[in-house]
Amino acid sequence: MSPEVSVKELLEAGAHFGHQVSRWNPRMRPYIFTTKGGIHILDLQQTVECLKKAYKFVADTVALGHQVLFVGTKKQAKPHIETQAKRVSQFYVSNRWLGGMLTNFKTIRASIDRLGSLEKQAASEEFAKLTKKERLTIEREITKLNHVLGGIKTMNKLPGCVFIIDPKKEEIAKKEARRLKIPVVAIVDTNCDPEGVDYIIPANDDAIRSIEIISKAIGDACEEGLRRRQAALVKEGMVSEADEKPAAFVTEKEVSGKGRAYIGKAKKKGEEETTQEDVEKFASAKATHEAKPV
């Protein structure tokens, strides 16, 4: 199957509008159709073709028993990231990306276990016997940890691929995935560097409708992959667990003979991975949002 997304639908969603010409990244040149009013206009024919390739890759990944991590922390992306990930039982990060969520997963996993322990305690009969202050302290910690870890608290191993809304904003997530050789699928606007993105979907990453349409298509790909996986398990005799053998990932290096995905850069000076102590510290921080400049 392929995503049911047309050029007309993307056009009506404003997916073709890029950023101001002065803010473009030259590596996005292959995906730009023209310039209008000082704004770059993306080639939606390429967007549709790129989305088809990304859809197939995601569906194949999930069919092999792997899961997808949806990442989008800006306000336009957050509701759609959460909705689609929950709809198809995948993971998501929509409030804040903590450095080391992938590369230091062991530490993050310890904090997730802490969250699970607190939630279990809060659901027990013994919880009612605690003082009001003790109950309030536990409830507040649960809320804070859920704010940053809620979307990955059932993630017991690294995802098979990462789907990102705006790799410029989610640069750390992209680089961590690349460092671990986890394929990256992303909506890439004209101001973004496509380096490190294996499956580029050139589109407006600020327009709500554009994000919604493409996120749903990726969600549909996960849904198709799950159906194929279930069918395979039934054929094999109702195997209860997914095959642990890693997928033979094939990354898309060229699009329409011109577009190219690039290998991630080395870690920048000053980037730090998160310690378990940091998780609780960062948990209370509110997500920061960025609006598309005029």
Q: For residue range 194-249, list pLDDT tens digits in order.
A: 999 999 999 999 999 999 999 999 999 999 999 999 999 988 775 554 444 434 44
Contact 168, 192 (CB under 8 A): yes
Q: Which of the four pLDDT bands, split at 50, 70 and 90, describes residue 278? A: low
Q: Mean pLDDT throughout 119-148?
A: 92
d(Cα 256, Cα 217) in Å, to the nearest integer?
Answer: 21
* pLDDT of res. 4: 85
Average pLDDT of the chain, as a whole number = 85
- 129 or 42, higher pLDDT: 42
Is the pLDDT at 267 greater than 70? The verdict is no
Q: What is the pTM of this model?
A: 0.79
Contact 252, 259 (CB under 8 A): no
Q: Mean pLDDT throughout 125-151?
A: 93
Cβ neighbours for 294, distance < 8 A, ≥ 6 positions apart: none
* pLDDT of res. 274: 54
Is the pLDDT at 63 greater than 80? The verdict is yes
Q: How far apart are the first and last CA of the chain?
A: 37
Q: Which of the four pLDDT bands, split at 50, 70 and 90, describes residue 263? A: very low
Amino acid at 240: S
What tokens does 108 get?
């993050």
- The DSSP annotation for 52-118 comes to HHHHHHHHHHHHTT--EEEE--STTTHHHHHHHHHHTT-EEE-S-PPTTTTTTHHHHHHHHHHHHHH
Is the pLDDT at 277 greater than 60? The verdict is no
Coil, strand or helix: which one is 244? coil
Q: Which of the four pLDDT bands, split at 50, 70 and 90, describes residue 268? A: very low
What tokens does 66 get?
């792997």
Minimum mean pLDDT range among 53-57, 68-72, 76-80, 289-293: 289-293
Is the pLDDT at 66 greater than 90? The verdict is yes
Q: Mean pLDDT throughout 110-121?
A: 93
Q: Which of the four pLDDT bands, split at 50, 70 and 90, describes residue 264? A: very low
Q: Mean pLDDT throughout 62-86?
A: 97
Residue 287: which of 81, 109, 9 has the closest Cα?
81
d(Cα 252, Cα 267) in Å, to the nearest integer?
Answer: 23
DSSP summary character for residue 127: G
* pLDDT of res. 265: 37
Coil, strand or helix: which one is 64? coil
Residue 221: which of 201, 239, 238 has the closest Cα?
201
Minimum mean pLDDT range among 2-6, 143-147, 185-189: 2-6
What tokens does 209 get?
């409708």
7-126+128-283 placed in CATH 3.40.50.10490: yes
Residue with the two structure tokens 């011109």: 258
* pLDDT of res. 242: 45
Q: Which of the four pLDDT bands, split at 50, 70 and 90, describes residue 3? A: confident
d(Cα 23, Cα 39) in Å, to the nearest integer?
Answer: 9
DSSP H or E run through 42: strand 39-42
Q: Mean pLDDT throughout 16-35?
A: 96
Q: Which of the four pLDDT bands, split at 50, 70 and 90, describes residue 54? A: very high
d(Cα 167, Cα 3) in Å, to the nearest integer?
Answer: 22
Between β-strands 91-93 and 259-260, what pairing exists: parallel, antiparallel or unpaired?
Answer: unpaired
* pLDDT of res. 261: 35
